[in-house]
């Protein structure tokens, strides 16, 4: 059994495997991925001397520990890595065209799928849907985590995009970043705010009755939702403490 490599290594393994799968050899080195049920990739030993295999595995191990700011400090998803590898096969002009179309779609404009199909027609093996999904995820994730264009360029190259692709990508990303942030923040799900519209103290228990009102927004009801909440003094002070802690945490995250 070959060495087990875990983590963010699919891109490198794909490059190794696709370069060798059409040249079968009788004596192979097997590499399996622990996160993929032990699926094994065979690397011809004749193509890779023992020393080079050791170096390759060392590089893969280093890549396995990599985290990416464009993905919020986490590993790159496997399906994104596969899509990025496919994107790397495009010419820089086709890649830029696809990037611009996806940016327009994210910003609320119509997506020209015919242009995307024209890009795909240049290569019979190109999975255009995988390309669109991976590029869309890369753009929106980088914008959501407010990653600067220099970091995006560096990490996109680490993920497998050629330098000429990342250069054109980062130019349009930098120009559109503010609009992307505005657009994405407007798409964040929000719960209508709850207002305290009244309260009273019950005797002799000293329990506190709060009357809460949740305004109706874009629903089929014409009336606001009213809710009565009966709290003891201990529960009320606990709720107040937790709300203050939550507000402090939100303020720290926004700074």
Q: What average pLDDT values come out for the chain (255 residues) when binned by 10 residues?
A: 38 42 45 44 51 55 68 86 86 87 86 76 71 90 90 89 90 89 74 69 72 60 67 82 89 76
φ/ψ of residue 230, rounded to 5: -100, 115
| Longest CA pairwise span in the chain (Å) | 88
Can you give the pLDDT at residue 17?
41
Can you give the pLDDT at residue 201?
75
Report the relative pairing of strands 225-231 and 4-5 from DSSP bridges.
unpaired
Q: Report how far residue 169's alpha carbon sits from residue 100's, in angstroms, rounded to the nearest whole number.
A: 9
The model's pTM: 0.53
Residues 6 or more apart whose Cβ sits within 8 Å of residue 237: none
Can you give the pLDDT at residue 209?
74
Can you give the pLDDT at residue 2?
37
Distance of CA 122 to the CA centre of its chain: 28
DSSP 174-239: HHHHHHHHHHHHHTS--PPP-EEEEEEE-TTT--EEEEEEE---SSS-SS-EEEEEEE-HHHHHHH
Cβ proximity of 170 and 99 under 8 Å: no
Can you give the pLDDT at residue 138?
93
């Amino acid at each position: 059994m070959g060495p087990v490599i875990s983590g963010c290594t699919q891109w490198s393994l794909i490059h190794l495997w696709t370069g060798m799968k059409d040249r079968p050899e009788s004596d192979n080195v097997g590499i399996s991925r622990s996160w993929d049920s032990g699926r094994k990739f065979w690397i011809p030993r004749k193509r890779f001397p023992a020393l080079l295999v050791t170096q390759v595995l060392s590089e893969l191990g280093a890549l396995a520990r990599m985290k990416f700011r464009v993905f919020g400090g986490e590993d790159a998803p496997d399906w994104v890595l596969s899509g990025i590898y496919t994107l790397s096969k495009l010419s820089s002009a086709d890649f830029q065209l696809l990037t611009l179309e996806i940016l327009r779609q994210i910003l609320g404009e119509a997506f020209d799928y015919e242009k995307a199909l024209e890009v795909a027609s240049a290569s019979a093996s190109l999975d255009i849907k995988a390309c669109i999904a991976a590029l869309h995820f890369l753009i929106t994730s980088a914008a959501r985590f407010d990653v600067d264009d220099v970091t995006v360029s560096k990490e996109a190259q680490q993920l497998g995009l050629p330098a000429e692709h990342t250069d054109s990508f980062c130019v349009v990303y930098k120009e559109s970043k503010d609009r992307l942030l505005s657009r994405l923040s407007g798409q964040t799900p929000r719960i209508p705010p709850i207002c305290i519209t009244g309260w009273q103290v019950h005797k002799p228990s000293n329990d506190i009755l709060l009357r809460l009102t949740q305004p109706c927004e874009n629903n089929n009801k014409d009336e606001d939702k009213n809710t009565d909440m009966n709290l003891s003094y201990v529960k009320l002070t606990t709720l107040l403490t937790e709300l203050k802690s939550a507000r402090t945490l939100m303020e720290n995250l926004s700074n």
